[in-house]
């Protein structure tokens, strides 16, 4: 469970942020949402990256991501989703506790969504098939 002596933001989620709980992970609202309904899955164990997660945690991540989709479909009716995590400082990780974003996307929320998560390196976002 969460370590009460660890000052990590995700080791101490507020009860009102919790959407659902599994054995090893939580689904919570994102404090700084990119879009309406943006939520995250966090392990209860304090680990930094996805690569440190156990089989049980991965099972719960999968369960909670699917549950998030059902929740978001009912409450927000998005047109698509971006799902991902930043692993390491070079990848943009800002909180040193694994968190998997479930970002609902809506038609027209950006001018040209082609490339999706590839936009982390803008000059590589657009591609053409040969």
* 98 three-class SS: coil
* 83 three-class SS: strand
Question: 27, 68 in Cβ contact below 8 A?
Answer: yes
* 116 three-class SS: helix
Strand partners for 25: 43
Residues marked active site are found at: 99
Structure tokens, 80: 């698509």
């Amino acid at each position: 469970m969460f370590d009460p002596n660890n000052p990590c933001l995700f080791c101490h989620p507020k009860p009102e942020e919790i959407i659902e709980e599994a054995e090893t992970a939580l689904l919570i609202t994102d404090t700084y949402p990119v879009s309406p309904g943006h939520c995250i899955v966090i392990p209860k164990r304090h680990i930094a990256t996805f690569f440190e997660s156990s089989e049980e945690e991965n099972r719960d991540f999968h369960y909670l991501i699917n549950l998030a989709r059902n929740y978001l479909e009912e409450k927000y009716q998005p047109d698509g989703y971006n799902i991902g995590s930043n692993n390491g400082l070079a990848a943009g990780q800002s909180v040193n506790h694994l968190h998997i974003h479930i970002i609902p996307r809506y038609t027209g929320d950006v001018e040209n969504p082609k490339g999706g998560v590839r936009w982390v390196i803008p000059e590589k976002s657009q591609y053409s098939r040969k």
